[in-house]
Amino acid sequence: MPERLCRDYKSAQRASKVGAGALYVVAALSLIISLAFCASCPPTGEGGGAWTLSVVAAGLFTAAVALLAEFLRHFGRDSSPFGKSQFARLIAAALLMGLRTVFDAFVPMTEAPSSPDTIPLVTHIDLDLKIVTVIIFLVCLATVVRYGDALKEDSDSIA
């Protein structure tokens, strides 16, 4: 394997391992926040529907983040980082995120007690774990794509 290709692959593997770890932390935070939300804001009469939708949406988000972390973990450790199972992980994560978006649309912001996957940092700023997840995943995916491009260039030079 050419030196540049090896270097890009090692870089993509490192980024994927770090990204997977970071996304596992985000998934764990999301789960902890959801459990704290359930414990501190039990469903009440009229707002029970919004509470249930919020909890289900948080569960969908946590599962999607775990799938993205698995994608990166498998890229960082498997000898063949591409394949049908990797494709399936990305599609499943996208579907869960899409379903999460649908659930969010059904919970009016005035009804929802508070979002179970944000961390209030100060009075007016919330750290949105969805955005953190997308940022981490996109940075790691960029390194994976760079490696894929290097593979293509190597393949083209052989033909």
User: What is the pLDDT at residue 126?
Assistant: 52
| The one-letter amino acid at 66 | A
User: What is the pLDDT at residue 65?
Assistant: 92
Structure tokens at 24: 């596992």
Query: The whole model's pTM is what?
Result: 0.74
User: Mean pLDDT over residues 10-18, rounded?
Assistant: 89
Q: What are phi and psi of 79, to 5 degrees?
A: -70, -25
Of residues 71 and 110, more confidently modeled: 71
Segment 63-102, tens digit of pLDDT: 999 999 998 998 878 766 777 788 788 888 888 888 887 7
Neighbours of 112 (CB within 10 A): 17
Q: Is 149 exposed, middle or buried (0-12, 13-18, 19+ CB in 10 A)?
A: exposed
